[in-house]
Amino acid sequence: MDSYGDGGVEEDAGEAATSEDSGAGEDSGATGDGGGTGDPAGEDTGPARRDALTPEDERAPQGSSAPQDENAPPAAPPAGPPAGIAALSLPYQVVAAVALAVLGVFACVHLGMVFLHVAPSNTLTKQHGEAVDDWIYPEFEQNWKLFAPNPLQQNIAVQVRAQVSGAGGRRTTGWIDLSGQDAAQIRGSLLPSHTEQNELRRAWDFYLNSHTDDHRPNGLRGELSESYMRRIVMLRLDERELGGTVQRVQLRSVTRPIPSPSWSGEKTDTAPVFRTYPWWRITDPDRPAGAAGAEARGLAPNRTEAGR
């Protein structure tokens, strides 16, 4: 009986020791899973840990130490290759610099010539007036002055008469007021054309400025102005029924001073002043039908009465 009882006690003690060893092993395993510290806070406890994360932590990429600031300025782009002349090689840079220098010198000379052309008469224009005119005419002609004189105080009308040959022989028409025709077309028109306003006036100024006081042309520009005036006159006469073929035309100018205003004490003689010019022979290039081939045929050297 006693022997059996001792053995039962020993078996109970062995089972208790086995249970203690097993419990110790489980505790040891739990400690190792917690990071070796035995602290259960180092372990992801599931829903409680996820609730502690902020929205910034959830959006932050893995491996980043801190969330990015959305208001931070963007990074500067990398510097690109040089542009303009700096992008060229050295020889081409030299060529470009020389070309720009030449253009700058040309612009300065041109502005200086235009200034001398439109400026009042001075020492430079008196000494180098011919060189200035050679530079300006005909490509850069200017129709204005830097310091304008008194405005025009007179009206100038251009009139023409023609010698017409028809079935009844040769006869001379009366004076036809070309400037009056232009004024009648402009008057009452909301949008008058440039031709109606300026063609005859500019052509007449061109003619006067390119002729001497005895009606002789100053070189090729004078001959060109005569041809231009003849074509304008023939275009106007072609619109009229003159009863024959125009053989010759003659121009005259009528200058009428503008009367002074009523409040001015100045006295002005308003009597018209007439100036008659030589007769011009009309050839086929002067007529509207033959004007297209005038450049191919050339201009007559001098077809005025004085040139015969």
Condensed to tens digits (0 to 9), the pLDDT of residues 162-209 reads 999 988 889 999 999 999 999 998 998 888 888 888 899 999 999 999
CA–CA separation, 281 and 162 (whole Å): 10
Strand partners for 171: 164
* pLDDT value for 35: 42
Rounded to 5 degrees, φ, ψ at 84 are 70, -145
- Which conformational region is residue 242 in: left (phi greater than 0), alpha (psi within -120 to 50 degrees), or beta? alpha
CA–CA separation, 100 and 108 (whole Å): 12
* pLDDT value for 30: 39
Rounded to 5 degrees, φ, ψ at 34 are -80, 10
CA–CA separation, 207 and 216 (whole Å): 10
Condensed to tens digits (0 to 9), the pLDDT of residues 114-173 reads 999 888 888 888 888 889 988 988 788 777 766 665 567 889 999 999 999 988 889 999
> pLDDT band for position 20 (50/70/90)?
very low
| Structure token pair of residue 188 | 């009452």
Q: What is the mean pLDDT of residues 263-277?
A: 87
CA–CA separation, 148 and 264 (whole Å): 23
Q: Which residues of 33-68 are buried (b: 16+ CB within 10 A; e: fewer)?
A: eeeeeeeeeeeeeeeeeeeeeeeeeeeeeeeeeeee
Q: What is the mean pLDDT of residues 256-269?
A: 83
Condensed to tens digits (0 to 9), the pLDDT of residues 24-64 reads 444 444 344 444 444 444 444 454 555 555 555 555 555 44
